[in-house]
Amino acid sequence: MHTRLSDSIKPYSMINQKHLDLNSMKELPDSHAWLSLDESPSYDSSTPDLVPVINLNDPNAVKLVGHACKTWGVFQVTNHGVPINLLQEMEAAGRKLFALPIQQKLKAARSPNGVSGYGVARISTFFPKLMWSEGFTIIGSPYDHARKLWPNRYSLFCDVIEEYKQEMNKLAQRLMSLMLGSLGVSMDDVKWAGTQGSCPALQLNSYPACPDPDRAMGLAAHTDSTLLTILHQNNTSGLQAHKEGTGWVTVPPIPGALVVNVGDLLHILSNGLYPSVLHRAMVNRTRHRFSVAYLYGPPSNVQISPLSKLTDHIHPPLYRPVTWSEYLGKKAKHFNKALSTVRVCAPLNGFADANEHNGVRVG
């Protein structure tokens, strides 16, 4: 019997969901006014530190991906094989969903014990203020929710979701193979890597135009609990990634490109060589921003631990084995400190691991 991913994330459901119709608000309510937003770096404009953009058809793709994972934990990909019109259809489907009246959207609200459905950011429980966003999570079939949203016309939405998931799954496998390859490991070395058993989630995010963007937060800083996340953003910037020594850097929308994040499970699998990236979404005064995240992980009950090829007596495994289900439970409870809860060898010299950003800069 597989543990259901949905059971692992229940602690998030303690949220006292507060559904405001952000689209119609003329002022930022106190509930959404953040006291301080950690600012972006002011560059010496001659040498900006830019998130890598990788053409997946580049003969050097393995090397480029490895370098991006090691230094940034986030990169954009072009020539990824996902048809542009599918990205557009997915974006249009998301727009249509979020444009529904709030009462209609609430018919598909995430239930107190559930994972899928419409609601405020799940991570809201960890913050004193609410975020300027609404989300819709899909795990498994979208039909039940879609039927509540559009009783007679749900199939178009479901068809787009299914096709999108299929294309993303193909791309995620290709990215995994590049990432593993860059670590000197093949897909065959990792038994589960090529299997279809994973239970990915789709997260649709909407960030309405905000009357006071300098005091609002779209989605607070977090890492994803995945192996990797593939993100499509509309042509409105807002996504920022945190880079050690540089600070918050905007990941600019590039038409047709997709953003790839390293998640916590790849951090563990690579024994910390590929640190998961801390990222957040800012909001905009005039433009409505949308994003769609495909959260990719291993089959829910497979134990993930540092790859044996990467460890020896000088480089002992830094993390203990953990399943995706188990890890999601930890994330729901400990949020950005989840990674430290599965860390083994505490550094003898008392210094924190350079990669151990989780829990340090957030909140």
Ligand X SMILES: C=C1C[C@]23C[C@H]1CC[C@H]2[C@@]12CCC[C@@](C)(C(=O)O1)[C@H]2[C@@H]3C(=O)O
Ligand Y SMILES: O=C(O)CCC(=O)C(=O)O
User: Which listed residue (110, 122, 289, 343) is catalytic?
Assistant: 289
Q: Which is nearer to ligand X, 64 or 130 (CB)?
A: 130
Residue choice 206, 270, 284, 291 for contact with ligand Y (CB under 6 A):
291
Least Å distance, CB 293 to ligand X, is 6
Q: Which is nearer to Fe ion, 130 or 219 (CB)?
A: 219
Enumerate binding residues for Fe ion (CB under 5 A). 224
CA distance 64 to 58: 9
Enumerate binding residues for ligand X (CB under 6 A). 5, 9, 115, 122-123, 137, 201, 203, 222, 224-226, 293, 295, 328, 331
Q: Which is nearer to ligand X, 261 or 270 (CB)?
A: 261
Least Å distance, CB 188 to ligand Y, is 30
Least Å distance, CB 347 to ligand X, is 26
- Let me know: does 217 contact 131? Beta carbons within 8 Å: yes
Q: Give 262's strand partners.
A: 228
Q: Which is nearer to ligand Y, 205 or 336 (CB)?
A: 205
Q: Show the 3-state SS of the chain.
A: CCCCHHHHCHHHHHCCCCCCCHHHCCCCCHHHCCCCCCCCCCCCCCCCCCCCEEECCCCCHHHHHHHHHHHCCEEEEECCCCCHHHHHHHHHHHHHHHCCCHHHHHHHECCCCCCCEEECCHHHHHCCCCCCCEEEEEECCCHHHHHHHCCCCCHHHHHHHHHHHHHHHHHHHHHHHHHHHHCCCCHHHCCCCCCCCCCCEEEEEEECCCCCHHHCCCEEEECCCCCEEEEEECCCCCEEEEECCCEEEECCCCCCCEEEEECHHHHHHCCCCCCCCCEEECCCCCCCEEEEEEEECCCCCCCECCCHHHCCCCCCCCECCECHHHHHHHHHHHHHHHHHHCECCCCCCCCCCCCCCCCCCCC
Among ligand Y, ligand X, Fe ion, none, the one that 201 touches (CB under a kind-dependent 5 to 8 A) is ligand X
CA angle 230–234–240, rounded 5-degree value: 65
Least Å distance, CB 241 to ligand X, is 14
- Asked if residue 281 binds ligand Y (CB under 6 A), the reply is yes
Q: Which stretch binds ligand Y (CB under 6 A): 4-12, 124-132, 230-238, 302-310?
A: 230-238
Residue choice 279, 330, 331, 357 for contact with ligand Y (CB under 6 A):
279
CB-side exposure of 255: number of CA atoms within 13 Å?
2
CA distance 165 to 278: 24
Least Å distance, CB 188 to ligand X, is 26
Least Å distance, CB 12 to ligand X, is 7
Could you confirm whether 285 is annotated as catalytic? no
- Asked if residue 302 binds ligand Y (CB under 6 A), the reply is no
Q: Which is nearer to ligand X, 182 or 300 (CB)?
A: 300
Among ligand Y, Fe ion, ligand X, none, the one that 8 touches (CB under a kind-dependent 5 to 8 A) is none
Least Å distance, CB 219 to Fe ion, is 7
Q: Which is nearer to Fe ion, 201 or 273 (CB)?
A: 201
Among ligand X, Fe ion, ligand Y, none, the one that 137 touches (CB under a kind-dependent 5 to 8 A) is ligand X
- Asked if residue 205 binds ligand Y (CB under 6 A), the reply is yes
Q: Which is nearer to ligand X, 49 or 144 (CB)?
A: 144
Provide the binding-site residues for ligand Y, judged by CB under 6 A. Answer: 203, 205, 219, 224, 231, 233, 238-239, 279, 281, 291, 293
Question: Which residues are known to be catalytic?
Answer: 289
